[in-house]
Copies of this chain bind each other. A is one copy, B any other.
Amino acid sequence: MRAADELGALVESSLEELELTAELGGLREAMRYAYEAGGKRVRPVLCLATAEAAGSSAEAALPAACAVELVHTFSLVHDDLPALDDDDERRGRPSAHVAFGEGTALLAGDALLTEALRLSLAYPGGAVTRELTEATLRMIGGQYRDVTGDDADLASLHRLKTGALLSASVGCGLWAAGVPEGGQPSWRAFGDELGLLFQAVDDLLDGDGYAARLGEDGARALADEAALRAHARLAEVPGETEVLAGLVDTLAARTS
């Protein structure tokens, strides 16, 4: 069992060594710019920690973890484009389209998504790839609802936009660890609570979403309840879940 920061270091070095398709040529620079920008690596660490908790090794889950992070990066690069959220900055640096131009950022996002799914084919049976494609489709559906302003049901919007990929991070870790479908429900329920926790804290930090809808206290209560339920779910799964439990506390307490 490795600690979360060790898993994070594994993710960083694995991303650094990632071999992108040669035919992408100069586009690889924009892709690397986007995924080497850092960030908390919540999703890939969650994937690796799940695999270890389920009795496998982080190494076995590394391609899946990197694939999850590339899908996340693809979504950030496209969401930042002027046609969607029009964000000029990302993690304190110019967004990809500001640094490389809109056309290049668009293609870099496409290539990040495709490379992610290519990476996920390292696992036999297609389960990791299926998990990722389904989560990506739900995430895109969530972003579509968000930009078209159809946020009447905030919980279901977030379940799609943020929850789907967080939940898939757990799912990919399970498949990478060889956990059969029948053994996954409690783990997956944990992933769902983690998604809600993540989003509630995000909204508290940004002052929108749940924080705007429920007030600061309401959103804090929602986050705390999700954290409690996440811990309760972890207690049900067969495995050493200390690192995952630590991730829950870190996500509940994060300030950025």
Contacts and interface: CB of A to CB of B under 8 A. Distances in A.
Contacts of A114: 113, 133, 136-137, 140
Interface residues of A, number: 47
Contact of A23 (B101, B137, B150): B137
Select the residue from A118, A130, A137 with max chain B CB neighbours within 10 A. Answer: A137
A106 to B, nearest CB: 5
A27 B160 CA distance: 14
A103 B106 CA distance: 12
Q: DSSP majority for the A interface?
A: helix
Interface stretch (A10-18, A43-51, A76-84, A169-177): A76-84
A138 B84 contact: no
A160 B121 CA distance: 22
B107 A137 contact: no
Interface string A97-109: 1000111111101
How many copies of this chain sit in the oligomeric assembly? Answer: 2
Interface stretch (A141-149, A200-208, A244-252): A141-149
B121 A106 contact: no
A21 interface: yes
A126 interface: yes
B83 A106 contact: yes
Contacts of A109: 110
A23 B158 CA distance: 12
A110 B23 contact: no
B140 A107 contact: yes
Nearest to A130: B121
